[in-house]
Structure 1
Amino acid sequence: MTESNTPAFTKPELPMQIQTIREYLPHRYPFLLVDRVTDITDSGIVGYKNVSMNEEFLQGHFPGFPIMPGVLIVEAMAQISGILGFVMNNQKPSSDKIFLFAGAERVRFKKQVVPGDQLVLKSELVMQKRGIYKYNCIATVDGIVAATAEIMITQQKTEQA
Protein backbone atom coordinates (compact mmCIF):
# COMPACT_ATOMS: atom_id res chain seq x y z
CA MET A 1 0.00 0.00 0.00
CA THR A 2 1.07 3.52 -0.62
CA GLU A 3 1.06 6.21 2.05
CA SER A 4 -2.29 7.53 0.82
CA ASN A 5 -3.98 4.26 1.92
CA THR A 6 -4.86 3.33 -1.63
CA PRO A 7 -3.96 -0.07 -3.02
CA ALA A 8 -0.81 -0.31 -5.11
CA PHE A 9 -2.85 -2.09 -7.78
CA THR A 10 -5.73 -1.23 -10.05
CA LYS A 11 -8.95 -2.96 -9.11
CA PRO A 12 -11.01 -4.25 -12.03
CA GLU A 13 -14.62 -3.19 -12.36
CA LEU A 14 -16.87 -5.12 -9.98
CA PRO A 15 -18.73 -7.35 -10.05
CA MET A 16 -16.29 -9.19 -12.28
CA GLN A 17 -18.35 -11.11 -14.83
CA ILE A 18 -17.26 -14.40 -16.40
CA GLN A 19 -15.86 -12.68 -19.49
CA THR A 20 -13.41 -10.74 -17.31
CA ILE A 21 -12.69 -13.73 -15.07
CA ARG A 22 -11.59 -15.61 -18.20
CA GLU A 23 -9.03 -12.85 -18.77
CA TYR A 24 -7.49 -13.57 -15.33
CA LEU A 25 -7.72 -17.38 -15.30
CA PRO A 26 -6.45 -19.66 -18.05
CA HIS A 27 -8.94 -22.36 -17.01
CA ARG A 28 -11.83 -23.25 -19.31
CA TYR A 29 -14.92 -25.43 -19.14
CA PRO A 30 -15.32 -27.78 -17.37
CA PHE A 31 -12.52 -26.69 -15.03
CA LEU A 32 -13.29 -22.98 -14.58
CA LEU A 33 -14.72 -22.91 -11.04
CA VAL A 34 -15.33 -19.19 -10.41
CA ASP A 35 -18.53 -17.69 -11.82
CA ARG A 36 -18.29 -14.17 -10.42
CA VAL A 37 -16.04 -11.94 -8.33
CA THR A 38 -18.00 -9.59 -6.09
CA ASP A 39 -15.35 -7.82 -4.02
CA ILE A 40 -11.62 -7.10 -4.04
CA THR A 41 -9.86 -5.35 -1.15
CA ASP A 42 -6.21 -4.49 -0.53
CA SER A 43 -5.51 -8.08 0.53
CA GLY A 44 -8.61 -10.13 -0.19
CA ILE A 45 -11.16 -11.26 -2.73
CA VAL A 46 -14.70 -12.64 -2.65
CA GLY A 47 -16.44 -14.52 -5.42
CA TYR A 48 -18.67 -17.50 -5.98
CA LYS A 49 -19.34 -20.69 -7.90
CA ASN A 50 -22.94 -21.65 -8.63
CA VAL A 51 -23.20 -25.42 -8.32
CA SER A 52 -25.60 -26.90 -10.86
CA MET A 53 -26.77 -30.47 -11.36
CA ASN A 54 -25.48 -30.03 -14.93
CA GLU A 55 -21.86 -30.08 -13.70
CA GLU A 56 -20.00 -33.00 -15.27
CA PHE A 57 -18.35 -33.96 -11.99
CA LEU A 58 -21.75 -34.46 -10.31
CA GLN A 59 -22.78 -37.13 -12.81
CA GLY A 60 -20.56 -39.68 -11.09
CA HIS A 61 -19.93 -38.16 -7.64
CA PHE A 62 -22.24 -39.76 -6.52
CA PRO A 63 -25.14 -41.17 -8.60
CA GLY A 64 -28.30 -40.60 -6.58
CA PHE A 65 -26.46 -38.41 -4.05
CA PRO A 66 -24.54 -35.68 -5.92
CA ILE A 67 -21.84 -33.90 -3.89
CA MET A 68 -19.22 -31.47 -5.18
CA PRO A 69 -15.84 -33.21 -4.74
CA GLY A 70 -13.72 -31.66 -2.01
CA VAL A 71 -10.72 -31.47 -4.31
CA LEU A 72 -12.73 -29.19 -6.63
CA ILE A 73 -13.73 -26.96 -3.71
CA VAL A 74 -10.02 -26.60 -2.93
CA GLU A 75 -9.33 -25.92 -6.63
CA ALA A 76 -12.04 -23.20 -6.61
CA MET A 77 -10.30 -21.58 -3.63
CA ALA A 78 -6.98 -21.75 -5.51
CA GLN A 79 -8.57 -20.18 -8.60
CA ILE A 80 -10.04 -17.24 -6.68
CA SER A 81 -6.63 -16.79 -5.02
CA GLY A 82 -4.98 -16.83 -8.45
CA ILE A 83 -7.26 -14.04 -9.64
CA LEU A 84 -6.21 -11.99 -6.61
CA GLY A 85 -2.55 -12.74 -7.35
CA PHE A 86 -2.86 -11.37 -10.86
CA VAL A 87 -4.90 -8.33 -9.77
CA MET A 88 -2.45 -7.44 -6.98
CA ASN A 89 0.43 -7.61 -9.47
CA ASN A 90 -1.47 -5.58 -12.11
CA GLN A 91 -1.14 -8.51 -14.49
CA LYS A 92 -3.17 -10.99 -16.48
CA PRO A 93 -2.08 -14.43 -17.63
CA SER A 94 0.12 -14.35 -20.69
CA SER A 95 1.86 -16.82 -22.93
CA ASP A 96 4.93 -16.61 -20.68
CA LYS A 97 3.50 -16.17 -17.12
CA ILE A 98 0.93 -18.08 -15.12
CA PHE A 99 0.04 -18.62 -11.46
CA LEU A 100 0.14 -22.28 -10.46
CA PHE A 101 -1.32 -24.06 -7.46
CA ALA A 102 1.70 -24.76 -5.24
CA GLY A 103 0.11 -26.39 -2.21
CA ALA A 104 -2.65 -26.64 0.33
CA GLU A 105 -2.40 -26.98 4.09
CA ARG A 106 -4.90 -27.26 6.93
CA VAL A 107 -7.67 -28.30 4.55
CA ARG A 108 -10.93 -29.03 6.34
CA PHE A 109 -14.36 -29.95 4.98
CA LYS A 110 -17.30 -29.05 7.18
CA LYS A 111 -20.41 -29.18 4.96
CA GLN A 112 -21.36 -31.01 1.80
CA VAL A 113 -21.85 -28.84 -1.30
CA VAL A 114 -24.75 -30.01 -3.44
CA PRO A 115 -26.57 -28.91 -6.62
CA GLY A 116 -28.37 -25.60 -6.13
CA ASP A 117 -25.78 -24.29 -3.68
CA GLN A 118 -23.90 -21.06 -4.23
CA LEU A 119 -20.35 -21.68 -3.00
CA VAL A 120 -19.01 -18.34 -1.76
CA LEU A 121 -15.21 -18.20 -1.99
CA LYS A 122 -13.15 -15.85 0.15
CA SER A 123 -9.38 -15.57 0.00
CA GLU A 124 -7.04 -13.30 1.93
CA LEU A 125 -3.32 -12.87 1.27
CA VAL A 126 -1.38 -13.62 4.45
CA MET A 127 2.18 -13.99 3.16
CA GLN A 128 4.28 -13.31 0.09
CA LYS A 129 7.85 -14.59 0.10
CA ARG A 130 10.26 -15.57 -2.69
CA GLY A 131 7.53 -15.81 -5.29
CA ILE A 132 5.17 -17.88 -3.13
CA TYR A 133 1.83 -16.37 -2.15
CA LYS A 134 -0.07 -17.85 0.79
CA TYR A 135 -3.78 -17.27 1.31
CA ASN A 136 -6.29 -18.10 4.03
CA CYS A 137 -9.38 -19.34 2.23
CA ILE A 138 -12.90 -20.13 3.29
CA ALA A 139 -15.79 -21.51 1.25
CA THR A 140 -19.33 -21.07 2.57
CA VAL A 141 -22.85 -21.97 1.56
CA ASP A 142 -25.69 -19.86 3.00
CA GLY A 143 -23.24 -18.45 5.56
CA ILE A 144 -22.23 -21.92 6.80
CA VAL A 145 -18.59 -22.94 6.41
CA ALA A 146 -18.21 -25.71 3.83
CA ALA A 147 -14.39 -25.79 3.70
CA THR A 148 -11.29 -23.95 4.83
CA ALA A 149 -7.70 -24.13 3.61
CA GLU A 150 -4.39 -22.37 3.42
CA ILE A 151 -3.64 -22.16 -0.30
CA MET A 152 -0.26 -21.44 -1.84
CA ILE A 153 0.28 -20.30 -5.41
CA THR A 154 3.39 -19.30 -7.30
CA GLN A 155 3.94 -17.35 -10.48
CA GLN A 156 5.85 -19.35 -13.05
CA LYS A 157 7.18 -18.69 -16.50
CA THR A 158 5.70 -21.05 -19.03
CA GLU A 159 7.99 -22.96 -21.32
CA GLN A 160 7.37 -22.55 -25.01
CA ALA A 161 7.73 -25.70 -27.09
Structure 2
Amino acid sequence: MSLCELTRTAIQDLIPHRDPFLFLESARVESEKEISGLAVWLNTHPILQGHFPQKPVVPGVCLIEAGAQLAGVLLRWQSQNMPASQNGLGVLASVQKAKFKRGLAPDELLILHCQVRALSPHAFVVHCKGSTHTSSKTVFESEILLAQQIAPT
Protein backbone atom coordinates (compact mmCIF):
# COMPACT_ATOMS: atom_id res chain seq x y z
CA MET A 1 0.00 0.00 0.00
CA SER A 2 1.40 3.38 -0.98
CA LEU A 3 1.33 6.56 1.09
CA CYS A 4 0.66 8.86 -1.84
CA GLU A 5 -0.01 8.70 -5.60
CA LEU A 6 1.33 11.68 -7.56
CA THR A 7 0.24 12.79 -11.01
CA ARG A 8 2.49 14.78 -13.32
CA THR A 9 0.78 17.97 -12.11
CA ALA A 10 1.41 17.04 -8.46
CA ILE A 11 5.06 16.31 -9.34
CA GLN A 12 5.33 19.82 -10.83
CA ASP A 13 4.07 21.20 -7.51
CA LEU A 14 7.03 19.53 -5.77
CA ILE A 15 9.98 20.00 -8.14
CA PRO A 16 10.83 22.89 -10.49
CA HIS A 17 11.41 20.83 -13.66
CA ARG A 18 9.24 21.50 -16.72
CA ASP A 19 9.00 20.21 -20.29
CA PRO A 20 11.01 19.21 -22.14
CA PHE A 21 13.16 18.33 -19.12
CA LEU A 22 10.53 16.89 -16.75
CA PHE A 23 10.85 13.17 -17.42
CA LEU A 24 8.44 11.73 -14.84
CA GLU A 25 4.86 10.88 -15.75
CA SER A 26 3.76 9.76 -12.28
CA ALA A 27 5.12 8.71 -8.91
CA ARG A 28 4.06 6.68 -5.92
CA VAL A 29 5.47 7.30 -2.45
CA GLU A 30 5.75 3.78 -1.01
CA SER A 31 7.16 4.81 2.38
CA GLU A 32 9.25 7.57 3.97
CA LYS A 33 12.29 5.98 2.30
CA GLU A 34 10.93 4.52 -0.94
CA ILE A 35 9.36 5.89 -4.09
CA SER A 36 8.56 4.49 -7.53
CA GLY A 37 7.71 6.29 -10.73
CA LEU A 38 7.18 6.07 -14.46
CA ALA A 39 9.02 7.84 -17.26
CA VAL A 40 8.72 7.63 -21.02
CA TRP A 41 10.45 9.45 -23.86
CA LEU A 42 8.22 9.55 -26.93
CA ASN A 43 9.95 9.19 -30.28
CA THR A 44 9.12 12.87 -30.91
CA HIS A 45 10.99 14.08 -27.80
CA PRO A 46 13.58 16.73 -28.79
CA ILE A 47 16.34 14.98 -26.84
CA LEU A 48 16.13 11.97 -29.18
CA GLN A 49 16.43 13.91 -32.45
CA GLY A 50 20.22 13.82 -32.47
CA HIS A 51 20.92 10.78 -30.29
CA PHE A 52 21.49 8.12 -32.92
CA PRO A 53 18.82 9.25 -35.43
CA GLN A 54 18.89 5.92 -37.30
CA LYS A 55 18.28 3.92 -34.09
CA PRO A 56 17.32 6.30 -31.26
CA VAL A 57 18.20 5.40 -27.68
CA VAL A 58 17.34 7.41 -24.57
CA PRO A 59 20.64 8.92 -23.36
CA GLY A 60 21.99 7.43 -20.13
CA VAL A 61 22.27 10.89 -18.61
CA CYS A 62 18.47 11.23 -19.01
CA LEU A 63 17.95 7.95 -17.14
CA ILE A 64 20.09 9.25 -14.28
CA GLU A 65 18.22 12.58 -14.35
CA ALA A 66 14.86 10.77 -14.19
CA GLY A 67 16.10 8.91 -11.11
CA ALA A 68 17.33 12.18 -9.58
CA GLN A 69 13.97 13.83 -10.29
CA LEU A 70 12.19 10.95 -8.58
CA ALA A 71 14.51 11.19 -5.58
CA GLY A 72 13.84 14.95 -5.54
CA VAL A 73 10.10 14.30 -5.43
CA LEU A 74 10.61 12.15 -2.34
CA LEU A 75 12.85 14.78 -0.72
CA ARG A 76 10.26 17.53 -1.33
CA TRP A 77 7.35 15.30 -0.30
CA GLN A 78 9.12 14.59 3.00
CA SER A 79 9.84 18.28 3.62
CA GLN A 80 6.36 19.67 2.90
CA ASN A 81 5.71 20.27 6.59
CA MET A 82 9.09 21.89 7.30
CA PRO A 83 9.32 25.62 7.98
CA ALA A 84 9.99 27.58 4.79
CA SER A 85 13.42 28.59 6.11
CA GLN A 86 14.49 24.92 6.12
CA ASN A 87 12.79 23.96 2.88
CA GLY A 88 15.25 24.35 0.00
CA LEU A 89 15.86 23.08 -3.49
CA GLY A 90 17.06 19.49 -3.92
CA VAL A 91 20.08 19.41 -6.23
CA LEU A 92 22.07 16.55 -7.68
CA ALA A 93 25.37 16.44 -5.79
CA SER A 94 26.92 13.20 -7.06
CA VAL A 95 26.32 10.01 -9.00
CA GLN A 96 28.15 6.83 -8.00
CA LYS A 97 28.15 3.23 -9.21
CA ALA A 98 26.18 4.03 -12.37
CA LYS A 99 25.63 0.95 -14.52
CA PHE A 100 23.78 0.86 -17.81
CA LYS A 101 22.68 -2.68 -18.58
CA ARG A 102 20.69 -2.16 -21.79
CA GLY A 103 19.39 0.62 -23.98
CA LEU A 104 15.95 2.14 -23.62
CA ALA A 105 14.11 2.75 -26.88
CA PRO A 106 11.73 5.65 -27.49
CA ASP A 107 8.15 4.95 -26.34
CA GLU A 108 9.41 2.24 -23.96
CA LEU A 109 8.04 2.75 -20.45
CA LEU A 110 10.69 2.99 -17.73
CA ILE A 111 9.74 1.91 -14.21
CA LEU A 112 11.91 3.67 -11.64
CA HIS A 113 12.44 2.70 -8.03
CA CYS A 114 14.42 4.76 -5.51
CA GLN A 115 15.28 3.73 -1.98
CA VAL A 116 16.99 5.96 0.58
CA ARG A 117 20.24 4.40 1.81
CA ALA A 118 21.63 7.19 4.01
CA LEU A 119 20.00 10.28 5.41
CA SER A 120 21.15 13.53 6.98
CA PRO A 121 19.21 16.74 7.70
CA HIS A 122 19.99 18.28 4.30
CA ALA A 123 21.03 15.39 2.03
CA PHE A 124 20.40 11.78 1.26
CA VAL A 125 21.89 8.95 -0.74
CA VAL A 126 19.39 7.08 -2.86
CA HIS A 127 19.80 3.81 -4.73
CA CYS A 128 17.91 4.13 -8.02
CA LYS A 129 17.04 1.38 -10.43
CA GLY A 130 15.15 1.55 -13.70
CA SER A 131 13.62 -1.37 -15.58
CA THR A 132 11.39 -1.80 -18.60
CA HIS A 133 7.69 -2.30 -18.22
CA THR A 134 7.46 -5.12 -20.76
CA SER A 135 10.34 -7.38 -19.73
CA SER A 136 11.23 -6.13 -16.23
CA LYS A 137 14.87 -6.14 -17.37
CA THR A 138 17.13 -3.69 -15.59
CA VAL A 139 18.07 -0.73 -17.78
CA PHE A 140 20.26 1.14 -15.28
CA GLU A 141 21.06 1.50 -11.63
CA SER A 142 23.06 4.02 -9.64
CA GLU A 143 23.53 5.70 -6.31
CA ILE A 144 22.56 9.35 -6.31
CA LEU A 145 23.38 11.94 -3.67
CA LEU A 146 20.83 14.74 -3.42
CA ALA A 147 21.61 17.78 -1.32
CA GLN A 148 19.05 20.29 -0.16
CA GLN A 149 20.17 23.82 -0.98
CA ILE A 150 18.69 26.10 1.65
CA ALA A 151 17.62 29.50 0.37
CA PRO A 152 19.53 32.40 1.96
CA THR A 153 17.52 34.37 4.51
Common topology (TM > 0.5): yes
Match of 1:19 among 9, 19, 30: 9
Counterpart in the other structure of 1:104: 95
- Pair 1:67-2:57 in alignment: yes
In structure 1, C-alpha distance between the alignment counterparts of 2:60 and 2:71, rounded to whole Å:
17
Q: Provide the rounded CA distance (Å) in 2 between the counterparts of 1:97 and 1:67.
A: 34
Aligned AA (2:107) = G
Alpha-carbon separation, structure 2, partners of 1:47 and 1:103? 21
Deviating 4+ runs (over 3 angstroms): none
Q: Quote the offset at 1:38 in angstroms.
A: 3.2
- In structure 1, the residue corresponding to 2:18 is in which secondary structure? coil
Unaligned runs of 5+ in 2: none
| 2:142 is aligned with 1:152 | no
CA positional deviation for 1:87: 1.2
Separation of aligned partners in 2, 1:49 and 1:91 = 27
Within-5 A mapping of 1:90-129: 90=80, 97-129=88-120
Which ranges in structure 1 are unaligned for 5 or more consecutive residues?
A: 1-10
Which residue identity is paired with 1:40? E
Residue 130 of structure 2 is matched in structure 1 by 139
Q: Point out the more displaced range, 124-133 or 29-38.
A: 124-133
Aligned length: 147
User: In the superposition, relative to structure 1, how do residues 159 and 27 fare at CA in structure 2: closer, same or farther (>3 Å)?
Assistant: farther
Query: Quick one: which amino acid aligns to residue 102 of structure 2?
Result: K
Q: Residue 76 of structure 1: SS of its match in structure 2?
A: helix
What whole-Å deviation, never above 9, does each CA across 1:38-89 have from its counterpart, x for those lacking one?
3422310000102210111110001111000000100000000000111122
The residue aligned with 1:40 is 30
Aligned mates of 2:29, 2:119 — CA distance in 1: 21
Give the aligned residue type for 2:64.
V
1:113 corresponds to which letter in structure 2?
L
- 1:101 CA displacement: 0.5
User: How large is the RMSD of aligned CA atoms in angstroms?
Assistant: 2.0
Amino acid at match of 1:33: F
